[in-house]
Amino acid sequence: MKIRLDNVMKTFETFRAVHGVSLEIESGELVALLGPSGSGKTTILRMVAGLEYADAGHIYFGAEDATDIPVRDRSVGFVFQHYALFPHMTVAENIAFGMKVSKVRRDKAAIDTRVTELLRLVQLDGLGQRFPGQISGGQRQRVALARALAVDPKVLLLDEPFGALDANVRRDLRRWLREIHQELGITTLFVTHDQEEALDLADRVVILDKGRIVQQGTPEEVCRNPASAFVMNFLGDTNRFSAAVSGGVARLGDAKIPAPGFADGPVEIFLRPSDLGWSHAGEGIAATVARVIDRPAGRRILALTATGEAVELDVAPETVVSAQQKGVITIERARVYAAA
């Protein structure tokens, strides 16, 4: 089912949560709504579900205008951040709930068969008789997904699906959700504030800031070509410098950074830690090492430039470097944005 949002707006009392958002999600696509808290991502998801009504604009499911269809009749599967499993029902009863209350009558045997099927799909065979309080967080998450899938929704919506889980469980569940999506091909929209999660899981990432879409594209597009300083900053660690362009070239220390298309004047230059290198001499920014942080994948140097600006850079694990050492930060890649 293709979903289309057309200029959707939502205001809470005096706070404008969503400003005219238009978005298309192709049938079978897995899309992430990514943004900091307060960016309106959850509100958009809840409007697609019908848990909030849009103040203006339209939401289409396929060709049908779903804007005013109540959540009960919208046939969406919604997975809540804290799962919202019914604590007084067993896992099997939770999964069966949607089928039992459905207007489509199903006999008990059919429901039981479907519950067993779904338990197998979410790899929880044999746990049907447990209560939600008796299983782990990751298992609860999977029960919530099975419950949402039980009613054959047109769309699957997930609100911060892995937010409450620890890092290892989260990574496993992410891979697993991707597999389930591949298997079922259901149109899926999920909300996250974790850029790694969005990039890892989604076909397409929609980045939001203050109730507006600031960029959307495949993970590759948004990573390689961030549309604005905000996106650049939000997607990962960056170092920001103010510099001046003259004749299409910006200068940082004695490094020259091409800035084609920028008029002479101030600009902002963003450098990821991995875009930088450390060398004893050469063209770059002169700096002194303040501290070295060792990580499994390499070493991160915290350095101070001559003008006192802190810079973080990642170097290979073999690099021999220690605090107080003087050297030069070399620049391999840089992104230039107009000064704010």
Partner 1 sequence: MSAHVNGRPPRVGDAPAFRRALIGIVLSLVAIVIIAPLAIIGYQAFSQGLQVYAAAIAHPDTLHAIGLTVVTALIAVPINTAFGVAAAWAITKFDFWGRRFLLVVIEIPFSISPIVAGVAYLFVYGLQGLFGPALESADIKILFALPGIVLASMFVTAPFVARELIPLMQAQGRDLEEAATSLGASGWRTFFSVTLPNIRWALLYGVVLCNARVMGEFGAVSVVSGNIRGQTNTLPLHIELLYHDYQTAGAFAAASILALLAVVTLVAKVLLERQGAGRARRSPALAAPRAAPKTASAEVSS
Residue type, 15: F
Alpha helix (H) residue ranges in 202-337: 219-224, 229-235
182 is a site residue for partner 1 (CB under 8 A): no
Residue carrying structure tokens 């009613």: 151
- Terminal-to-terminal C-alpha distance of the chain: 40
Distance of CA 2 to the CA centre of its chain: 20
102 is a site residue for partner 1 (CB under 8 A): yes
Q: Are 332 and 276 a contacting pair, CB within 8 Å?
A: yes
Closest approach of Cβ 312 to partner 1, in Å? Answer: 33
Q: Which of residues 315-334 bind partner 1 (CB under 8 A)?
A: none
The contact mask relative to partner 1 for 23-52 (x = CB under 8 A, - = no) is --------------------------xxx-
Query: How many residues in the chain?
Result: 340
Closest approach of Cβ 77 to partner 1, in Å? Answer: 8
CB atoms within 10 A of CB 163: 15
Closest approach of Cβ 186 to partner 1, in Å? Answer: 15
Q: Give the angle 223-226-232 at the CA atoms, nearest 5°.
A: 90
133 is a site residue for partner 1 (CB under 8 A): yes
With CB under 8 A as the rule, give the number of residues binding partner 1.
37
151 is a site residue for partner 1 (CB under 8 A): yes
* List 24, 106, 131, 305, residue binding partner 1 (CB under 8 A): 131
Return the structure tokens found at 328: 């030069």
The contact mask relative to partner 1 for 54-93 (x = CB under 8 A, - = no) is -----------------xxxxxxxx-x-xxxxxxx-----
Q: Which residues pair with 314 in a beta bridge?
A: 300
Closest approach of Cβ 184 to partner 1, in Å? Answer: 18
> Nearer Cβ to partner 1, position 48 or 336?
48
Report the C-alpha gap between 90 and 84 in whole angstroms.
Answer: 13
Cα-only R_g, the chain:
24
Instruction: Find the part of the chain contacting partner 1 (CB under 8 A) among 126-134, 203-211, 214-222, 272-280.
Output: 126-134
Binding site for partner 1 (CB under 8 A): 49-51, 71-78, 80, 82-88, 97-98, 101-103, 131-137, 139-140, 147-148, 150-151
